[in-house]
Amino acid sequence: MAFSQTLVQELANQLTGTKQVVIVTHPQPDGDALGSSLGWKKFLEKKGHQVSFISPTDYTKNLSWIPGTDTTMVYDTDMGKKLCNAKLDAADLIFCLDFNSFSRIEELGEAVKKATGYKVMIDHHQQPDSFADLMFSDTSYCATAEMVYDIVAGLSETDLMDEEIALCLYVGLATDNGFFQFNNATPNAFRVAAALVQKGVKPDFVSEKINNVFRETRLRFFGYCLHEKLKLVKGGKVAYMMLTKEEIKKFNLQSGDSEGLVNYPFKIDGVMVSAYFSEEPDKIKVSFRSRGSVDVNTFARTYFEGGGHRNAAGGKSLIGVEKTEKKFLKAINDLKI
Ligand code: 5GP
Ligand code: MN
């Protein structure tokens, strides 16, 4: 896969000289949000640009080993917002990575909207808003990191890609396709993976760092959820877990600690949809996963102010645990399973 020469050329035109650049990603940045942003940042820095990376919320400790995470500017405190706004105001170029609507990044979206810099979207989610001046938006890519690789290749600058950049991009690629087990693990994903491994990435190192670094309490939390909280409805086709603030507190969880839990119910034969609800101070965050043609992107958009991909989407609910559960149980009657 590749992007059109016109699109890449337009980007190349924007990247001439030394530019003030800001990269923005989505809240609770996951492996792809961080990997694609930090890989792209390092690449642009190698080309001589001044680059800042802004996330709406802090990154999880689980991912702090990804090179460059410590340079993240977080749009949360008054001071953080002030510093980020100054960077946004001064930016010639603003890259929006791994999200495709301002509403996804909440308050930061307003600041990006106001900023006058040239905006470029690099994203693989469905139904993008058309806020950017230049849009690299393609749902056939499994990860934004995979798109970043193809953009660098389109610019004929893979020689600038060092092992650290390759590592960042590989994290994004591998985490968004479940280490090549989901239906988005395309020939291009494997081609990009091969190129990144050629640059020195060790797949076993990344797999260990992502999959086998749980704190004991995190694994016990998974056990608790699967033993006590997992519910199966719709004749065993829909599985869900609903966790309250108190339960999350009891296990002393850090942000990112529930990552991956939503996939476990698929180990049960016949499960087509899995949902994980976690109560946060201001909202209930929801994760959806599905198999095959069951479309949780539309489902998340319709009922939970969210979106994502057909088989992996997320959203939120502001009506409390009990009402959210009722709403979900009613809404799944509309799902074509
Ligand atoms: P996760 O369940 O891992 O948080 O997210 C699954 C997919 O859905 C990711 O691609 C993520 O970017 C997207 N997603 C998660 N939460 C939201 C949300 O609140 N709004 C939208 N539009 N997408 C989301
Ligand atoms: Mn992604």
Is the CB of residue 288 less than 8 Å from the CB of residue 296? yes
Q: What is the DSSP string of 9-61?
A: HHHHHHTSS--EEEEE--SS--HHHHHHHHHHHHHHHHTT-EEEEEESSPPPG
For the chain, domains (ranges, CATH) are: 5-210 (3.90.1640.10), 217-334 (3.10.310.30)
Ligand 1 atom, smallest distance to 315 CA: 19
- CA 328, distance to chain mean position in Å, is 23
Helices (H), 237-295: 245-250
**For residues 49 and 258, what is the distance between their CA atoms, to the nearest angstrom?**
36
104 Cβ below 6 A of ligand 1: yes
Q: Which two tokens stand for residue 157?
A: 């600058």
Cα 55 to ligand 2 centre (Å):
14
Q: What is the pLDDT of residue 102?
A: 97
**Element counts in the chain: helices (H) and strands (E):** 12, 12
Give the angle 265-141-45 at the CA atoms, nearest 5°.
115
The residue nearest atom 3 of ligand 1, judged by CA position, is 287
Q: Which two tokens stand for residue 257?
A: 């600690």
Q: Which two tokens stand for residue 70?
A: 């410590």
End-to-end CA distance of the chain: give it in Å, rounded.
32
- CA 316, distance to chain mean position in Å, is 15
171 Cβ below 6 A of ligand 1: no
Is the CB of residue 143 less than 8 Å from the CB of residue 117? no
Q: What is the pLDDT of residue 1?
A: 66
CA quadruple 27, 33, 39, 44: dihedral, nearest 10:
-50
pLDDT in tens, the chain (337 residues): 689 999 999 999 999 999 999 999 999 999 999 999 999 999 999 999 999 999 999 999 999 999 999 999 999 999 999 999 999 999 999 999 999 999 999 999 999 999 999 999 999 999 999 999 999 999 999 999 999 999 999 999 999 999 999 999 999 999 999 999 999 999 999 999 999 999 999 999 999 999 999 999 999 999 999 999 999 999 999 999 999 999 999 999 988 999 999 999 999 999 999 999 999 999 999 999 999 999 999 999 999 999 999 999 999 999 999 999 999 999 999 999 9
307 Ramachandran zone, left/alpha/beta (phi>0; psi -120 to 50)? left
313 Cβ below 6 A of ligand 1: yes
Residue found by looking up tokens 């990344």 in the block = 206
Cα 52 to ligand 1 centre (Å):
23
Strand partners, 44: none
The residue nearest atom 6 of ligand 1, judged by CA position, is 313
What are the DSSP E strand ranges found in the chain?
Answer: 20-24, 50-55, 73-74, 93-97, 118-123, 134-137, 231-233, 238-243, 273-279, 284-290, 307-308, 312-317
39 Cβ below 6 A of ligand 1: no
Residue of 24, 26, 137 best suited for mutating to test ligand 1, as the one with most atoms within 8 Å of CB: 26
